[in-house]
Amino acid sequence: MVAMNPLRLKTDDDFMRRALDLAAQGRGAVEPNPMVGCVLVRDGNIIGEGYHQRFGGPHAEVNALRCCDNARGATAYVTLEPCCHHGKTPPCSDALIQAGVGRVVVAMADPFEKVDGGGLTQLRRAGIETELGVMQEEACELNAAYLTRIRTGRPFTIAKWAMTVDGRIATHTGQSQWITNEASRADVHQLRGRVDAIVVGMGTVTADDPMLTARPPGVRTATRVVFCAHRVPNVQSRLLQSARDVPVLLVVASEIEQAAVAAAEKRGARIYRCASSDPVAMIHEALDHLGSLEMTNIMIEGGGELMASFLNAGAIDQYELYVGAKVFGGRDALGPVAGEGFAQVAEAAALRLVGLQRLGENDVKLVYRGGLKN
């Protein structure tokens, strides 16, 4: 869709911000590829725009060029360095060169080994003026998950929980439904519908017998991943009963007997057996395995002991917290992160706020990042 500068955009930042907004529309549909947006501008007017809409489909630059009659001499604003290799689609650098664009402004370089500066080099060799780094921080924030997977080989991990204003996830009797309102719960299902995996521990499976599916279904179908340190789910659990329809992966400790594992496997579950029974070591092994499956985003849904193990492993990239307008109180009421915790304030995980949203009349969603260096 072409917009004739309805927002009176004027600067490189303005046009790149528009490209970033476009890129975000591909969230959940393009992974393991990055989200990318492109805006074509001539004489201060947008003459074409596009974004990467689905994995395997045309990239942002191609979609923008397709809705533009003539891009010769135009400036292309792209949120990520144009690709310069033949993958599922031809190189975007070639498309820009063939279209005759005069200038390409790029927010961030692509660290993917088959690009990694090559796209910009190709454009410069063709005589196209290039500029790198316009709104780079915002572009890195948008594609933090992609950057994590490319640089570490592991998926980006999102710790999610719902809690009361006083930080409880259940009353002292164990009741937890419902802490948050319908708008918050709908938002959680949208999140479930765009990640590659939803991760829980056996405590959650035993207590709640959850399905861990998005309702309604999202653009992705998440694999249900269960960390099994001492036992595997009962074959009558809803997870194993539905394993042939929605993927289930059991991350199994080395000490669990093969007979129990085989029974779960017979129900359709996939098995990843760790070399260790240590919770932190199991997390590191599992993240490497999930990365090898090209998973980009995974969501940890609980419970407290699993959250603590991920925290101790230094393996939480983002926190998405839903705060319901309730106060439970009670010294025995559970909090979202169990374990021994940190003894000193200076040891605590330091976070930075990257998102704040009001949901419904009284709920609030907080999004924090921690430990990620772009």
Chain-centroid distance, C-alpha 103? 31
308 annotated to a ligand binding site:
yes
- CA distance linking residue 54 with residue 193, whole number of Å: 15
176 annotated to a ligand binding site:
yes
Closest CA to 89 of 63, 124, 126: 63
- CA distance linking residue 67 with residue 80, whole number of Å: 20
162 annotated to a ligand binding site:
yes
359 annotated to a ligand binding site:
no
Q: Which residue out of 31, 61, 81, 320 is catalytically annotated?
A: 61
**Does residue 61 carry a catalytic annotation?**
yes
192 annotated to a ligand binding site:
yes
Token duo for residue 131: 């500029």
Distances from the Cα of 176 to the Cα of 21, 153, 363, angstroms: 36, 36, 15
350 annotated to a ligand binding site:
no
Asked if 100 and 59 touch (Cβ cutoff 8 Å), the reply is: no
147 annotated to a ligand binding site:
no
The single residue listed with the structure tokens 């129900």 is: 267
161 annotated to a ligand binding site:
no
Could you tell me what percentage of the chain is helix, strand and coil, using 3-state DSSP and rounding each to the nearest 5?
Answer: 30, 20, 50
Q: Which helix (H) or strand (E) holds 289?
A: helix 279-292
301 annotated to a ligand binding site:
yes
Any residues with CB less than 8 A from the CB of 8 and at least 6 apart, and which?
none
59 annotated to a ligand binding site:
yes
276 annotated to a ligand binding site:
no
Helices and strands in the chain: count of H runs, count of E runs: 12, 14
Asked if 102 and 129 touch (Cβ cutoff 8 Å), the reply is: yes
- CA distance linking residue 321 with residue 309, whole number of Å: 18
Number of other residues whose CB lies within 10 A of the CB of residue 69: 7
Distances from the Cα of 338 to the Cα of 112, 308, 310, 341, angstroms: 37, 5, 11, 7
73 annotated to a ligand binding site:
no
204 annotated to a ligand binding site:
yes
Q: Which residues are annotated as a binding site?
A: 59, 83, 92, 162, 176, 178, 192, 204, 208, 212, 215, 301, 303-309
Q: Which residues are annotated as a binding site for NADP(+)?
A: 162, 178, 204, 208, 303-309
Q: Which residues are annotated as a binding site for Zn(2+)?
A: 59, 83, 92
Residues belonging to the active site: 61
Q: Which residues are annotated as a binding site for substrate?
A: 176, 192, 212, 215, 301
